[in-house]
Amino acid sequence: MVQTLKGASVAGRDNLWILDMLDDTASKTDFAYSDMLRTRSRNALCVICKGSRMLCGKARCPVMVRVNQFFRTAPLLTENVDGASPPSVFVGRIGYPHVYAGPMVPPVHEDTSFYDLPEMWFGRPIDEIVGFRSMLVRGKYRVHVRQFMEAGKIMDMTRELALAEEPADVELGLTHRPRGVMVLDDEVQPFGPSAPIRDLRVGNAKWDHQVEKAYLDTDLKAADALRQLFDRGVLVTKIQKAFSVGSFGLKANRRLVPTRWSITAVDSTLSRDLMEKVKTFPEINDYRIYESTYLENQFEVLMLPDSWSYEAIEAWYPGTVWNPSGRWAVMFGDWEGYDGRTTYADIGGCYYAARLAVCELLTKERRQARVIVLREARPGYIMPVGVWQVRENVRNAMRQTPLKYNTLEEALKRIQSQFHIHLSQWTNKSHLIKNALYQKKITQYFSIRG
């Protein structure tokens, strides 16, 4: 059930704890904007806790982080949003193939380029990232994914924005003042308020030359366009945005792709292409560990001297997003051998995001290896912020000087020293580590016989 918070309404009184729990920067004038905030709860624990008792086990209340950011943005919001889009667009997936698509516009005129560019976010605190998301007002326009080219001015302007190289001035007319929905659980990433579009105007949007070239080539397959743009240095985020609004591929095959799907599709396509290159390179000759820590996510990337294979395993502590009420850490994982995989990975988009990051390094160094990406998500990771966090965390690990060891046992000892979860649990979950520890190669048999 959805309830609207109104200061004088009986229905909303049970939710007034949200206003009472705001930090010192808020004031009771926030009641004036409370009709713009709706709450939807799947778990009564949040209402019982009221943001103060930490009944979920987290270090901080994710609901309050989002609410605080919303009320900082609320005074700037009206039915007419005038600002500089990063540029940013969003294509939803609910109701597919009839989806909501449109621009995302912050109600400010300044350098907003980093508001929707995860490549620039690594190292920033979670409050700042939630703030970026909260500032982006999402205009919604209903359209069929295959009929977007005939959908009129609004979709044309949305595509113009998606292909832009720099922030563009946008006038976004909405049918009503945008509203935020505060979902009282941790399965929803932070996002800004939204409303249906009444009118849309985009100023001079300078297109990225490389993206424009791929857009105009209606005989170029979408996968080939993605590879060409990546090879020419176009940021993955920019490729994903253009791909989501149907900018690539054979003319008859172009369609809108929901943003969530487009992110994984681009990561998967690019990493699969790099994998084929990696397989042609010589193997590394030592055991390597690359490390990165950000937003209470600890990453340990283990590379073994062997032919290409890949595995990703995540461990979620009690009180984290995918293990909110458990007593023990929950582990998920998936892997692939030399020939790759034909089914979607069980752990979702994170699998492909990490795969892209490790393949980028191996391609750069012209080496191949057996790669295992291990991740501990700890209670300080209070809310999901997007697949980008995995990609950029692993990319950061790849930028570090690797720790090198002569044996697998030495490398595993290092991993154990960095993780809280015992090594035996990682080993039991990992197909590739168990294979390396216990599976003898036929070449070893021949060397013993000799």
10-residue averages of pLDDT along the chain (450 residues) = 32 50 51 60 58 68 78 86 96 96 95 94 94 93 96 95 95 93 58 93 92 97 97 97 97 95 96 98 98 97 98 86 71 96 93 98 98 94 90 98 97 97 95 90 50
Coil, helix or strand for 205? coil
C-alpha 385/C-alpha 405 separation (Å) is 34
What confidence score (pLDDT) does residue 13 get?
45
| Chain centroid to CA 302 | 23
Which strand (E) or helix (H) includes residue 135? Answer: helix 126-135
What confidence score (pLDDT) does residue 46 get?
62
Q: Which of 47, 30, 46, 41 is nearest to 3 (CA)?
A: 41
> Is the distance from CB of 15 to CB of 39 less than 8 angstroms?
yes
Residue 406 structure tokens? 């002569």
Amino acid letter, residue 122: F
What confidence score (pLDDT) does residue 285 get?
97
Q: Which residues partner with 91 through β-bridges?
A: 101
What confidence score (pLDDT) does residue 19 get?
58
The structure's pTM equals 0.88
C-alpha 70/C-alpha 9 separation (Å) is 21
Residue with token string 């729990």: 21
The H-assigned helical ranges of 330-441 are 349-365, 388-399, 408-418, 423-429, 431-438
> Is the distance from CB of 328 to CB of 318 less than 8 angstroms?
yes
- Cis status of the peptide bond prior to 97, with omega within 30 of 0: yes
User: Is the C-alpha dihedral spanning 42, 43, 44, 48 positive or negative?
Assistant: negative
Q: Which of 208, 204, 374, 244 is nearest to 297 (CA)?
A: 374
Q: Which of 273, 262, 265, 275 is nearest to 224 (CA)?
A: 273
What confidence score (pLDDT) does residue 28 get?
47
